[in-house]
Amino acid sequence: MNRSDFPILARQVHNRPLVYLDNAATSQKPQVVIDAVTEAYTTWNANIHRGTHHLSQLATAKHEQARAALAQFIGAAAPAEVLFTRGTTEAINMLAFCFGEAFITQGDEIIVSALEHHSNIVPWQMLCQRKQAVLKVIPLRDDLTLDTDAFRSLLSPRTKLVSVAHVSNVLGIINPVQEIIRLAHAQGVPVCIDGAQSAPHMPVNVTDLDCDFFACSAHKMYGPTGIGLLYGKQHWLEQLPPYQGGGEMIEHVRWSGTTYNTLPYRFEAGTPDYVGAYAWGVAVQYILDCGWQRILQHEQDLAAYAEESLARIPGVHIYAGRQPKAGVLSLNVYTPQGTLIHPFDLGTLLDHQGVAVRTGHHCAEPLINHLGVPGTLRISFGLYNTREDIDLFIAALQRAMQMLA
């Protein structure tokens, strides 16, 4: 876990050393991933699956090797259970459309949680509107954890799917997904896990979790932008209709009708991002080379150190304080008179000191409304962050507070 592996971290912002604490939005890329993209375009670039020539066959092999690597990385039973998408958002939209077409009728129910990112809310709202189905929401306890007792009562004979985040992108809370999966499966209900914020920070094994679907994005786990995946158990994927029509997803096309390709290609219409897939494979190997135990210990140390440091500053309120978290802390700051300092103002002053954080509702507006604030200031860690980053952030935050008090 060498910071020098990430060339962007050596740059300055506003004549200050860059302190990058916006990893929940996107992570920076190690040189090996950047080199992988260059290698692909300079040595074996060709459209895949369709050519008999050498470059096409080489590119096809690289693409499918990446699929196999990602399947192994998340513990899928077979590479065919991994569908490439443009990211977590498209993966959940794909599932909402395909599952909805196959299984959802008027009056059916889908359950999400009050902690969800918009990408795990809006696609289900659109499906419910299209199919006249009902969206139910798992509420929060006072400590901002999911109320699993309430979830138990929400399950009904009309429940057709549960879709929840593994880790909250606002609070960093690790949700009790194994319990949710167990309770849902006891009622014969499949479960989708939004793993956008878990896959970068902890080992995930979809077979051990026994989830039916799982979605994540490369760009949050040191890989390239514009590519992600949807995992699905084979028996579920085989029951779903295609998401898009075009090349690759077909077996035969006739004017009388079309027959569709086998898994996983039936869900991958058009030319895929084979360069992104290859670079993502390199990124996950980088994670494995760093070692999950080292990453977990390092990030837990950073989170504890940041929370302890922030707790010593009068006026700082940390949401879900002391709850087990994965790489994310959200906070707000109040003046001695008890007035909220707008997080956008803090974020702007932090930026001018070279510190990159995220402010706003973090695409989780219902949760922010529940908190009763206009937004939060969120810091989020990657494997390359250090205690020095946190010290610089704390010093910059205190300067900003003095200016805005």
Residues 175 and 68 in one domain: yes
Residues 359 and 269 in one domain: no
Residues 6+ apart with CB under 8 A from 186: none
For the question of whether the overall pTM of this predicted structure is more than 0.95, the answer is yes
Say which of 128, 192, 290, 363 is annotated catalytic.
363
- Between CA 306 and CA 327 the distance in angstroms is 11
Decide if pLDDT at 96 tops 90.
yes
Q: Say if residue 259 is exposed, middle or buried (CB neighbours under 10 Å; 0-12, 13-18, 19+).
A: exposed
User: How is 151-162 classified by DSSP, letter by letter?
Assistant: HHHH--TTEEEE
Which residue stretches of 79-227 are H helix?
88-103, 122-131, 148-154, 177-186, 206-209
Query: What Cα–Cα distance (Å) separates residue 330 from each residue in 242, 393, 398?
Result: 39, 14, 16
Decide if pLDDT at 370 tops 90.
yes
**Would you state the pLDDT for residue 131?**
97
The model's confidence at residue 265, banded by pLDDT at 50, 70 and 90, is very high
Query: What Cα–Cα distance (Å) separates residue 183 from each residue in 62, 141, 200, 231, 277?
Result: 39, 18, 26, 21, 34
Q: What percent of the chain has pLDDT over 70?
A: 100
- Is 363 considered catalytic here? yes
Q: pLDDT tens across 179-236, in order?
A: 999 999 999 999 999 999 999 999 999 999 999 999 999 999 999 999 999 999 999 9
**Would you state the pLDDT for residue 90?**
98
CB 279 within 8 A of CB 33: yes
327, part of any domain: yes
Residues 39 and 143 in one domain: yes
Residues 137 and 256 in one domain: yes
Residues 258 and 383 in one domain: no
Which residue stretches of 326-386 are H helix?
343-351, 365-371
- Between CA 24 and CA 219 the distance in angstroms is 10
Q: β-pairing, 12-13 with 16-17?
A: antiparallel
The model's confidence at residue 322, banded by pLDDT at 50, 70 and 90, is confident
Rounded to 10 deg, the angle between the 54-74 and 274-290 helix axes is: 40
**Would you state the pLDDT for residue 136?**
98
CA angle 53, 228, 272 (to 5 degrees): 25
Tokens of 216: 């994540």
56, part of any domain: yes
Decide if pLDDT at 1 tops 80.
no
**Would you state the pLDDT for residue 2?**
85
- Between CA 372 and CA 320 the distance in angstroms is 14
317, part of any domain: yes
CB 199 within 8 A of CB 283: no
CB 117 within 8 A of CB 363: yes
Tokens of 182: 């167990």
Among 268, 289, 310, residue at a domain's last position: 289
Q: Say if residue 144 is exposed, middle or buried (CB neighbours under 10 Å; 0-12, 13-18, 19+).
A: buried
Q: pLDDT tens across 34-81, in order?
A: 999 999 999 999 999 988 999 999 999 999 999 999 999 999 999 999
**Would you state the pLDDT for residue 145?**
96
Q: pLDDT tens across 241-259, in order?
A: 999 999 888 889 999 999 9
Residues 311 and 215 in one domain: no
**Would you state the pLDDT for residue 50?**
80
Among 289, 310, 325, residue at a domain's last position: 289
How many CB atoms sit inside 10 A of residue 308's CB? 10
169, part of any domain: yes
Residues 87 and 228 in one domain: yes
Residues 125 and 82 in one domain: yes
Decide if pLDDT at 395 tops 90.
yes
Number of domains in the chain: 2
Query: What Cα–Cα distance (Å) separates residue 99 from each residue in 128, 220, 238, 275?
Result: 12, 26, 11, 29
Query: Which is nearest to 171 in space by CA: 314, 373, 335, 347?
Result: 373
Residues 6+ apart with CB under 8 A from 284: 69, 70, 73, 221, 223
Among 235, 258, 289, residue at a domain's last position: 289
Boundaries of domain holding 387: 291-404
Residues 284 and 298 in one domain: no
Residues 252 and 104 in one domain: yes
Residues 285 and 304 in one domain: no
Residues 6+ apart with CB under 8 A from 281: 65, 66, 69, 70
Q: What percent of the chain has pLDDT over 90?
A: 96
339, part of any domain: yes
112, part of any domain: yes
* CATH code of residue 84: 3.40.640.10
**Would you state the pLDDT for residue 51?**
81
44, part of any domain: yes
* CATH code of residue 328: 3.90.1150.10
Residues 259 and 179 in one domain: yes
Tokens of 332: 């707000």
Query: Which is nearest to 214 in space by CA: 162, 172, 137?
Result: 162
* Mean model confidence pLDDT for the chain: 97
